[in-house]
Amino acid sequence: RGINLFVASEVPPGTGLGSSSAAAVTMVRAISTLVEQPMTKQQVAELASYIEIGKMGMPIGKQDQYASAFGGLNKITFTSDGVTVEQVRIDPEVRKTLERRLMLFFTGSSRESTSILKHQRKSTQDRDES
């Protein structure tokens, strides 16, 4: 049995907002729900990362998938032992102020980060091997 998935977005590619990772997380959650196989937020983030990095060959990290899967304001720590996510607690009044005052603008520009991320990954691997 197959499924059809339609994704529409007002966010253009290359904005640096993590929209492709948000779409991957949403897809994983939707399929998990469809097949009645509950997944933790961490499992969703890891599977979305695997799809984007392992299957699609995207030279990216996992931070966007984790941010999207967990939502909210979090401290996400990546180490060789794994990933930990801790919710950052802030005063409710500070939160309300942030929600009222933070603004996001589309500048009309996009960028291609693939070559930068490939270079960064190679540099990290070279450093780890020496």
Task: Tell me the pLDDT tens digit for each residue of 60-91.
Answer: 889 999 999 999 999 999 998 999 999 999 99
> How many other C-beta atoms are found inside a 10 Å radius of the C-beta of residue 53?
17
CATH of the domain spanning 19-129: 3.30.230.10
CA nearest neighbour of 34 among 55, 3, 62, 64: 3
Amino acid making up residue 85: V
Query: How is the chain split into domains, by residue range?
Result: 19-129
Higher pLDDT residue, 57 or 69? Answer: 69
pTM: 0.81
Q: Which residues are catalytic?
A: 64
Quick one: tokens of 121?
Answer: 């990954």
Phi-psi sector, 73: left (phi>0), alpha (psi -120 to 50), beta = beta
3-state secondary structure at position 76: strand
CA nearest neighbour of 52 among 20, 10, 79: 20
